[in-house]
Structure 1
Amino acid sequence: MDDLDTQAADNAAVHHAASEPGGKPSFAMTDGGGADPTHQHLFHLAGAAPSRFDGGDLRGAVADNWSVLKGQQGSVYLARLAPGGVREPHWHPSAWEMNFVISGRVRWSLVGPGGTGDAFEGKAGDLVFAPQGHFHYFENASDTEDLVVLIVFNTSVAEPDDDIGLVESLSAIPPDVLGAIFGVPADTFKAIPKNRDRVVIASKNKEPANG
Structure 2
Amino acid sequence: MKLQFSSSVASLLLILLPLSYAFPARRADESASNPGLKGSKTLIGYSPSEKVGSTTTPDIKYSLLPGQTNDPDIGTWLDFSKVDNPQPIRGDTGGDDPGPRNLNYDRIHSDKLAPPGTDHGATINAQWPMGLSHNRLGIDNAGWARQENTVVMPAATEMAGVDMRLEPAAYRELHWHVASEWSLILNGSCRIQAVNENGETFVDDLTAGDVWFFPPGIPHSIQALDDGVEFLLVFDDGGFNEDNTFLATEVFLHSPKEVLAKNLGVSIADFEDIPDDELYIFKGTPAPKDIEEQNVTTSSGVVPRTKSYSYHFSEQEPHEVAGGSVKIVDPSTFPLASNFSAAVVTVHPGGMREIHWHPSSDEWTFFIKGQGRATIFTAPEAANTFDFMAGDVGYFPQSNSHYIENTGQEDLVFLEVLQASEFTDVALGQWIASTPKQIISDTLKLSDSTLSKLKTEKQYVVAGSTSDE
Name structure 1 gaps, 5 residues minimum.
Answer: 1-30, 206-211
Shift of 1:122: 0.5
Shift of 1:203: 1.5
Whose relative contact order is higher, 1 or 2, with alpha carbons under 8 Å and at least 6 apart? 1
TM, length-normalised to structure 1: 0.70
Which residue matches 1:110?
194
Residues 45-124 of structure 1 aligned to structure 2 (within 5 Å): 45-46=130-131, 48-54=133-139, 55-69=142-156, 72-93=157-178, 95-124=179-208
2:185 and 2:232 in contact (8 A); partners too: yes
User: Is 1:160 aligned to residue 243 of structure 2?
Assistant: yes
Shift of 1:115: 0.7
Shift of 1:53: 1.1
2:194 and 2:218 in contact (8 A); partners too: yes
Which residue matches 1:10?
none
2:128 and 2:152 in contact (8 A); partners too: no
Using the aligned pairs only, state the percent identity: 23
Shift of 1:184: 2.1
Say how many residue pairs are matched. 164
C-alpha distance in 1 between matches for 2:145 and 2:202: 25
TM, length-normalised to structure 2: 0.33
User: Is 1:192 aligned to residue 279 of structure 2?
Assistant: no
C-alpha distance in 2 between matches for 1:133 and 1:153: 13
C-alpha distance in 2 between matches for 1:133 and 1:48: 26
C-alpha distance in 1 between matches for 2:282 and 2:210: 23
Shift of 1:73: 2.3
Shift of 1:204: 1.7
1:74 and 1:154 in contact (8 A); partners too: yes
2:190 and 2:228 in contact (8 A); partners too: no
C-alpha distance in 1 between matches for 2:212 and 2:187: 14
Shift of 1:84: 2.1
C-alpha distance in 1 between matches for 2:258 and 2:274: 12
1:51 and 1:59 in contact (8 A); partners too: yes
C-alpha distance in 2 between matches for 1:160 and 1:201: 11
Shift of 1:188: 0.6
User: Is 1:40 aligned to residue 40 of structure 2?
Assistant: no
Q: 1:127-146 CA deviation, whole Å, 9 max, x = no partner?
A: 0001111011101011xx23
C-alpha distance in 1 between matches for 2:275 and 2:256: 11
Amino acid at match of 1:201: I
C-alpha distance in 1 between matches for 2:189 and 2:199: 26
State the Cα RMSD in Å. Answer: 2.3
Give the structure with higher Rg (CA): 2
Shift of 1:108: 0.4
Q: 1:162-198 CA deviation, whole Å, 9 max, x = no partner?
A: x11111101112222222222222211122245x2x3
2:169 and 2:228 in contact (8 A); partners too: no
Q: 1:57-110 CA deviation, whole Å, 9 max, x = no partner?
A: 0111110011221xx2210110000112100111112x1000111111111011
1:62 and 1:156 in contact (8 A); partners too: yes
Amino acid at match of 1:175: K
Change (3 A) 1:49 1:193: closer
1:175 and 1:190 in contact (8 A); partners too: no
2:183 and 2:213 in contact (8 A); partners too: yes
Amino acid at match of 1:92: H
C-alpha distance in 1 between matches for 2:131 and 2:230: 11
Which residue matches 1:183?
265
C-alpha distance in 2 between matches for 1:49 and 1:169: 26
